[in-house]
Amino acid sequence: MSIKNWQIGLTAGATVGAIAIMMQSCVSIPKGVTAVKPFVQKDYLGTWYEIARYDFKFEKNLSDVSATYTLNPDGSIRVDNKGYDFIKGAWKESIGKAKPVKDAGTGRLKVSFFGPFYAGYNIIAIDPGYRYAMVAGNNLKYLWLLSREKTMPAKIQTAYLKQAKALGYDVSKLIWTKHERS
């Protein structure tokens, strides 16, 4: 093997390794945060309304945000995110898929809207009736409060905000989602 071929092979191997590490790190959970366990995947299916979120580019200017989770024939979960862009005056929808990170009994999913690239979706709080949930992303830059209804009781909201703050989230940065159209 020539030195040039060896260098190309080494570079290709390093690139593949870096991509693998990057893709794996995208399905992480923030340090010090734990996902709910036991978690019953079938009870999580259905429609959830976003109550609050940290704003980021894919949800910028969206109100009336909801996510519907349904089981696919292959066992993965179809994710149908929908929101109203109040600047453009149009609905926006994204279809993706989710899979358990390790086991279906822990509230850790990996979600993809872009082919082979997954992000962490970590259910870190949920009530026993699966009516209210708090979800963390890969790091402290992503947080959602979700409800089966377009509102969340103040008692639940306060408990989730207290938990989020204790984990290191700046809860003053949350965007409170309006539901006027859905």
Q: Is residue 48 part of a domain?
A: yes
Q: Is residue 181 part of a domain?
A: no
Q: What is the pLDDT of residues 4-59, one digit of tens each?
A: 544 444 444 444 433 443 344 478 899 999 999 999 999 999 999 999 999 888 88
Calpha distance 149→49 (Å, rounded): 6
Calpha distance 54→170 (Å, rounded): 9
**Domain containing 95: what range?**
3-176
38 contacts 105 by C-beta, under 8 angstroms: yes
Residue 27's pLDDT is 81
Q: Is residue 94 part of a domain?
A: yes
Q: Is residue 61 part of a domain?
A: yes
pLDDT tier at 155, thresholds 50, 70, 90: very high
Q: Is residue 169 part of a domain?
A: yes
Domain CATH for 111: 2.40.128.20
The domain total for the chain is 1
Q: Is residue 107 part of a domain?
A: yes
Q: Is residue 182 part of a domain?
A: no
**Average pLDDT estimate for 92-112:** 94
Q: Is residue 80 part of a domain?
A: yes
Residue 123's pLDDT is 98
Q: What is the mean pLDDT of the chain?
A: 88
Q: What is the pLDDT of residues 132-147, one digit of tens each?
A: 999 999 999 999 999 9
